[in-house]
Amino acid sequence: MIGIGFDRLDELDEGVFYVDSKRRILYWNKGAEKISGYLKSECVGRSCADDILRHADSCGNEYCKAGCPMQMTLKDGKPREIEAFMMHKDGYRLPCTVSIKPLYDSLGVIRGATESFYIK
């Protein structure tokens, strides 16, 4: 699949997913399934902008619609951490901490990013 040991991430309790440079989800771990209610089969192949987690600030402003941290990291390569409220599949919001980190190829080009999240 991705070839960098992502299968080991299924052992984590926190949610972890990987996107390519176009924000298409290529990997979704079991922790992400448990926390979000979304199965891997429902997420892999879709864009993270497809209303899956819908991270929002404390006022309900969704990050994907204005100032997406994932998109910014893919563009500038800077890791980010935010406090957010994610939308569970069942329609309620959960407070979480979200960390986004870029992934580079052997030439130093950003090829994607990981996002990890856990409930506070």
pLDDT tens for residues 29-52? 999 999 999 999 999 999 988 888
CATH superfamily of domain region 15-119: PAS domain (3.30.450.20)
- Under 8 Å between Cβ of 70 and 48: yes
Q: Which two tokens stand for residue 42?
A: 């429902």
Amino acid at 28: W
Q: What does the pLDDT profile of the chain (120 residues) look like in tens digits?
A: 445 566 677 777 899 999 999 999 999 999 999 999 999 999 999 998 888 899 999 999 998 877 899 999 999 999 999 999 999 999 999 999 999 999 999 999 999 999 999 998
Please name the residue ranges forming H helices in 21-107: 30-36, 40-43, 69-76
As given in the structure block, the two tokens for residue 25 are: 């989800």
